[in-house]
Structure 1
């Protein structure tokens, strides 16, 4: 296993991290605890030392299973990352109650890496006003958490101001060869690194879409031109690990073969190890994927801000991804609803469009944005999805604020 150093504390973290959001399931969709524990320990035994969970994962059960996996001496071998669900906090008492419950579920005295979960501009402003920074500092002083950070799902502008708002040790962002300009993007990654923050990567495979054994034919035709043949998952992971500013890449591994495959790739994944020709090929693949997208949005943000509050690039991103990768429509709708504020209350969905036309004058791709937003709304918005998302994000129903 290869390791990279956290600038502010010197921790040596494995470049492959274990994400506990997609653990193996039984037929009734409950976690297969025996398999999950065995898989986490298999990864730890192979050198993985960063395990990531969160309050809502598996309806509040992920933290419990991770805690069980860390018994019998495994706790001492790893760093645990967990997250404060900021959308569930209306006051400091909520923050304290949730953190104490997380420590109890994990069966530990300290969470090594503690994040504010899924921030964007509005949620950051709200939780900051509620006093989250003094809460975090007091929790650290009490030994309940050690390193402070945040995960992010907003715009680059908001990302930079959150980075600048506090002396964070680390952050977690979505990053892969398609998401170089979406959300924090490459610019945000490099900005965080310039502040000596460790950068943890989520969705390196775009929810598994970039690792499908059978890529779309026109994509596979490009991969087949490479001098060194690699699987789609190896191309995708090695592209992220090629970036020296990346500290850890999280993978939601729920099959033994996934663990073995990712471990093998990690052994070869040095920063700067891809050739110029290979990087050019990956750029060509990314361009071809974008060509296959139903809406030719590049995420440039020139259409923003929208007077009606629509997150135009974000709406197109989730619609494009769902269509391009032929993922289940319900999955697209769920991810779209989370991103567009059905939990936080600050909704930014496509159906808010009032067809004012301001975006049409600013779009360099000359997209008929109001018309395409109708397509997005028809596909991604369905009655009741907000409540489904809220129930999932609430996670452990035993908590009451």
Structure 2
């Protein structure tokens, strides 16, 4: 296994991290026997970074991971989990949530503790509630070792959050189609310049880059002299960046663990050849041609005066038509843009002011395209669905950390 160094602490982290959001399930619940087997196997293969959170597997992921790491495995790994900002109403809530997580994970410390799914407004809220003091106090007490945040927002908010606290690390969505979306490459480089470790999530765009691959893209992968699976291309492209510390993968089969650890063992920074990088560029171009909206994610249209996250709206809209899985994409749209886990940014907020249209270098008719996005994803029940899901997320988190036994 290849290990990469956390700049501020010199921790050695495996280049592939184990994401505990997509564990194997049986009858709708975590298949504990199989999932435990896979976690132990991953540790044997050299993976030492395990990422979980309160919402994963309907609140069961943390407790499962705590049990899976008993018997000497906890000492071999770094645990990452997250503080759900949507459930925090006071400074005291932060301590209560953390203490509950420590109990569920059956440990006395969290190695990497993140504020979950931050964007601009949620960061301001957490700052005002005293999150910086909370993080400093938790580090002094030894309950957390490293402080960070995961992010789904725009690049200006990302830079502001990076600058306003002494973080050890951050976590961003990044893959071959998201170079200019959310934090993107600009954010990756910015965080690295500030000596933050950068953890990568969604390297396969929720599995879309390895499932339902368009024939135009498959042809490009197949034409390469060196044969690689789509997952190998995706992980190697990310790990080719020296600024990346580790890439999270939601593995739920032994074969996936084998493939990803083998890939990570050889995917060193700057190891892809010019020819291989050109192949990836050709695949990206093929995806771009298939997109319903020719948005490049340049963000010249941002910020929107009414709060629409225009690039994210178009990204999910394109996913809807390219990759299939339409129900899943609709759910992601509500979660990401409906104000459930981060700030609202849905297309229905558009007021047709035209500012974005004037700024778009692709000359896209953004206001009318946003109407199409809203029609596809929102409809009359959108407000009701977001309200129910938001209340559900808050209730789930509160029940989870208020349970003492």
When normalised by structure 1's length, the TM-score is 0.96
CA contact (8 A) 2:79 2:112 kept: yes
Q: Find out whether 1:161 has 2:138 as its counterpart.
A: no
1:117 maps to what in 2? 116
Q: Find out whether 1:260 has 2:252 as its counterpart.
A: no
Take 2:294 and 2:83, find their aligned partners in 1: how far apart are those partners?
35
Take 1:253 and 1:246, find their aligned partners in 2: how far apart are those partners?
19
Structure 1: gaps spanning 5 or more residues: none
1:206 maps to what in 2? 205
Deviation at 1:393, TM superposition (A): 6.3
Q: Where in structure 2 are the equivalents of 1:71-220 lying within 5 Å?
A: 71-212=70-211, 215-220=213-218
Q: Deviations over 1:267-309 (max 9, x none)?
A: 2211111101110110111111011110111111122222322
What is the total number of aligned residue pairs between the two structures?
A: 398
CA contact (8 A) 1:219 1:289 kept: yes
Q: Deviations over 1:43-73 (max 9, x none)?
A: 0111100000001111110001100111000
Deviation at 1:75, TM superposition (A): 0.4
CA contact (8 A) 1:334 1:389 kept: no
Deviation at 1:389, TM superposition (A): 5.3
Residue 150 of structure 1 aligns to a residue whose secondary structure is: strand
Query: Relative to structure 2, which stretch is displaced further, 92-101 or 338-347?
Result: 338-347
CA contact (8 A) 2:347 2:374 kept: yes
Q: Find out whether 1:17 has 2:17 as its counterpart.
A: yes
Structure 1 runs of 4+ with >6 Å offset:
none
Q: Where in structure 2 are the equivalents of 1:323-362 lying within 5 Å?
A: 323-327=321-325, 329-343=326-340, 346-362=343-359
Q: Find out whether 1:388 has 2:389 as its counterpart.
A: yes
CA distance 1:345–1:154, shift in 2 (3 Å): closer
Residue 224 of structure 1 aligns to a residue whose secondary structure is: helix
Deviation at 1:356, TM superposition (A): 2.3
Take 1:23 and 1:345, find their aligned partners in 2: how far apart are those partners?
24
1:231 paired residue among 209, 221, 229? 229
Structure 2: gaps spanning 5 or more residues: none
Q: Where in structure 2 are the equivalents of 1:249-398 lying within 5 Å?
A: 249-327=247-325, 329-343=326-340, 346-381=343-378, 383=381, 384-386=384-386, 387-388=388-389, 390-392=391-393, 394-396=395-397, 397-398=399-400
Take 1:346 and 1:271, find their aligned partners in 2: how far apart are those partners?
34
Take 2:219 and 2:400, find their aligned partners in 1: how far apart are those partners?
51
Deviation at 1:150, TM superposition (A): 0.6
CA contact (8 A) 2:338 2:345 kept: yes
CA contact (8 A) 2:291 2:321 kept: yes
CA distance 1:8–1:210, shift in 2 (3 Å): same
Query: Relative to structure 2, which stretch is displaced further, 91-100 or 334-343?
Result: 334-343
CA contact (8 A) 2:306 2:349 kept: yes
How much is the aligned-residue C-alpha RMSD, in angstroms?
1.6
Take 1:398 and 1:250, find their aligned partners in 2: how far apart are those partners?
24
Q: Deviations over 1:285-334 (max 9, x none)?
A: 1111011110111111122222322111121111112221112x221122
Residue 209 of structure 1 aligns to a residue whose secondary structure is: coil
1:36 maps to what in 2? 35
CA contact (8 A) 1:58 1:395 kept: no
Residue 352 of structure 2 aligns to a residue whose secondary structure is: coil
Query: Relative to structure 2, which stretch is displaced further, 365-374 or 113-122?
Result: 365-374
Residue 246 of structure 1 aligns to a residue whose secondary structure is: coil
Deviation at 1:392, TM superposition (A): 4.4
When normalised by structure 2's length, the TM-score is 0.95
Residue 210 of structure 1 aligns to a residue whose secondary structure is: coil
